[in-house]
């Protein structure tokens, strides 16, 4: 009996020790998972949200947008005439971003405040349902214009599941978050969800994207959801012509294409609206990214035309040499003259990245 009691005691002690160890691991895992997930400190009220203007709308363009739910679902249709982009739908479920990238255009509104705040899900659902009832053309709804789509995974999970209740429209997520924020996507494939990651060269990320997940981790997150079966896209934007930029970007291109085959690759070069620059300066951050601007456009300051063309030609050549289909490459917020000069076909008056043609 003594031997049997001793065995029981040992077994109980081992179970307790195992449970304690498991609890410690679980708590550490939860702590790690929460590093890039924001704690919801404040929900925006509808009247507050209605006052927020899209930060990339130049001041001279004044036009009432088609919208639902007091602007929560809104048609972006204010592109300047010299830019070859057009209309796309936004789901403005939150405003602000915790990643605080130095060049971020979100600084250009709300007086430079970047702290994120979401809307309550019931308000977002109401706007989405209203949009579904009125928008007959199959469309993509972008959730990553005024915030990082994955900064509140628990809220975004509810939004993407709402899109699963119909089969006409799709929701697009755009993020610089890493693998810790994609658990809900990996657990269940959603056919109406498009996943996109903004990825930059590591040297650029180290300088001006310090709070975002490292580029390698973003690529891994994209690979994980791609393997589940999601329509997965990559945005390389803004492309900065830093010292030895070709070497740095060649490396990131090779990492991307060796990890997944993106459904679409979106390219973009730096854009500097005066409000972005003003509030970035006031934030007293590293402004060295501003030094690359040399000409003006309807979408703020840009790199010189010749330099932008060289960048795009390099990317098209490199991507296609590695077997990527050139028809799946687009350019964001670029001028009509650039598209024409490169002889790249595009659909005028629509967004070639998130518009209907991108479905």
Give the tens place of pLDDT for each residue, 16-69. Answer: 565 555 555 444 433 443 455 667 878 888 877 766 766 655 544 444 568 899
| Residue 119: both structure tokens together | 């809307």
Name the helix (H) or strand (E) containing 87.
none
Hey, where are the domains in the chain? 46-358
For 145, phi then psi, to 5°, come to: -85, -45
Residue 229: Cβ within 10 Å count: 10
At residue 11, the 3 state secondary structure works out as helix
* E strand segments, 189-238: 193-198, 231-236
Q: Which residue is associated with the tokens 């990527």?
A: 324
Q: What are the C-alpha distances in Å from 67 to residues 44, 75, 156?
A: 18, 6, 20
Helix, strand or coil for residue 138?
Answer: coil
Class of residue 265 by CB neighbours under 10 A (exposed 0-12, middle 13-18, buried 19+): buried
pLDDT string in tens for the chain (359-residue length): 555 555 555 655 665 565 555 555 444 433 443 455 667 878 888 877 766 766 655 544 444 568 899 899 999 887 888 899 888 999 999 999 999 999 999 988 767 888 999 999 999 999 999 999 999 999 999 999 999 999 999 999 999 999 999 999 999 999 999 999 999 999 999 999 999 999 999 999 999 999 999 999 999 999 999 999 999 999 999 999 999 999 999 999 999 999 999 999 999 999 999 999 999 999 999 999 999 999 998 888 999 999 999 999 999 999 999 999 999 999 999 999 999 999 999 988 889 998 888 88
215: phi > 0 → left, psi -120 to 50 → alpha, else beta; which? alpha
Host H or E run for residue 249: helix 245-259
Q: Could you count the other beta carbons within 10 Å of the beta carbon of residue 231?
A: 19
Asked if residue 164 lies in contact with residue 192, where contact means CB atoms within 8 angstroms, the answer is yes
Task: Round to whole Å and give the CA distance between 108 and 113.
Answer: 9
Residue given tokens 């602007």 in the structure block? 71
Instruction: Single out the residue of 322, 333, 218 nearest to residue 267, CA to CA.
Output: 333
CATH number of 46-358: 3.80.30.30
* Joined tokens for residue 230: 């999601």
Concatenate the DSSP letters of all residues of 262-325 into one string: -S-EEE----B-HHHHHHHHHTT---GGGGG--EEETTEEE--HHHHHHHHHHHHHHHHHTT--
> Alpha-carbon distance 173 to 351, whole Å?
16
């Amino acid at each position: 009996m003594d031997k049997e009691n001793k065995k029981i005691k040992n077994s109980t002690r081992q179970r307790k020790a195992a449970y304690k160890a498991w609890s410690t691991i679980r708590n550490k895992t939860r702590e790690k998972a929460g590093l890039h997930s924001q704690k919801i400190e404040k929900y925006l009220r509808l009247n507050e949200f209605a006052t927020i203007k899209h930060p990339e709308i130049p001041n001279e363009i004044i036009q009432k947008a088609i919208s639902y739910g007091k602007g929560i679902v809104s048609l972006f249709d204010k592109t300047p005439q010299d830019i070859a982009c057009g209309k796309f739908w936004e789901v403005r479920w939150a405003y602000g971003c915790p990643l605080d990238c130095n060049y971020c255009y979100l600084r250009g509104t709300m007086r430079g405040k970047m702290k994120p705040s979401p809307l309550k899900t019931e308000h977002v659902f109401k706007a989405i349902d209203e949009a579904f009832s009125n928008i007959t053309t199959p469309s993509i709804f972008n959730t990553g214009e005024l915030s990082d789509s994955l900064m509140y995974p628990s809220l975004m999970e509810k939004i993407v599941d709402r899109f699963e209740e119909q089969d006409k429209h799709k929701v697009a997520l755009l993020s610089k978050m890493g693998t810790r924020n994609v658990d809900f996507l990996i657990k269940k494939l959603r056919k109406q969800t498009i996943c996109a990651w903004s990825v930059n060269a590591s040297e650029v990320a180290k300088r001006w994207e310090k709070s975002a997940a490292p580029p390698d981790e973003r690529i891994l997150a994209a690979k994980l959801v791609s393997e589940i079966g999601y329509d997965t896209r990559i945005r390389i934007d803004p492309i900065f012509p830093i010292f030895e930029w070709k070497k740095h970007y060649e490396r990131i291109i090779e990492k991307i294409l060796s990890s997944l085959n993106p459904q679409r690759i979106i390219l973009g070069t730096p854009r500097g609206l005066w409000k972005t620059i003003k509030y970035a300066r006031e934030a007293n951050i590293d402004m060295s990214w501003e030094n690359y601007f040399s000409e003006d456009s309807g979408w703020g300051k840009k790199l010189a035309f010749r330099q932008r063309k060289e960048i795009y030609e390099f990317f098209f050549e490199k991507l296609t040499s590695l077997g990527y289909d050139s028809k799946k490459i687009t350019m964001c917020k670029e001028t009509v003259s650039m598209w024409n000069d490169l002889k790249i076909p595009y659909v005028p008056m629509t967004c070639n990245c998130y518009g209907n043609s991108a479905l």
